[in-house]
Structure 1
């Protein structure tokens, strides 16, 4: 009986230590919601309509413990702020492979007119319905908070 109590005590200590152990996470926040994803390498895809050209733009961002990195940009038209140095075609899109660090924090301002859509690992997470900022950040969060999708 005493050995069982000791084993349960050590199990509880290990469980508690694991729960508070910090892990790298991708946190996405809007005015009304928050999403948390544990990181190995997560792929973030931000899709929207360009506010001037009204054509589709896709930015592919890798998020890992070092931060966020733009890896690819796809677009359908040319004009205000869109790349002119095409590297190839992918279906209806022009694309450019990029290797640009963004740091551990990134903010996007979206309006519904842009029809924004944010995907993590090819699963839609957010389609912001109202104008506002969407905050993206890489940070260390206790494992228990990541499990319950809060950080």
Structure 2
């Protein structure tokens, strides 16, 4: 298996009322997050990565018309958790994460990838931020009102 590319996307899924969808990792029960995923290839456009990961992890298809991914033009660099470093080339310790969001109807069908996630839950903004195991994910959830043009 080739090493993961240390560049990824984070996609915060939310409703117009700012409820946030979180998914529980299958490989780490109790670890809740938004959609995340690494680039498949170094030259993969970030929007393509976000679109692919959104569909693979939730079954939500961003069509660019009804369901539109919003690129925040925000990147976070963070240290890769020790438990996942074996997936990267030797010596790689940090990842660059690019943040996106997508507004969806609350009743949109969610189809989780059972290999990756156990269950999902819609939560109010602050509860979702508290549930995220990743600090950059929690911060993105808290920044959501500003990025969608709403005040908290």
TM range (shorter): under 0.3
| TM-score, structure 1 as length reference | 0.27
Higher helix proportion (structure 1 or 2): 2
Larger relative CO (CA 8 A, sep 6+): 1 or 2?
2
TM-score, normalised relative to structure 2: 0.27
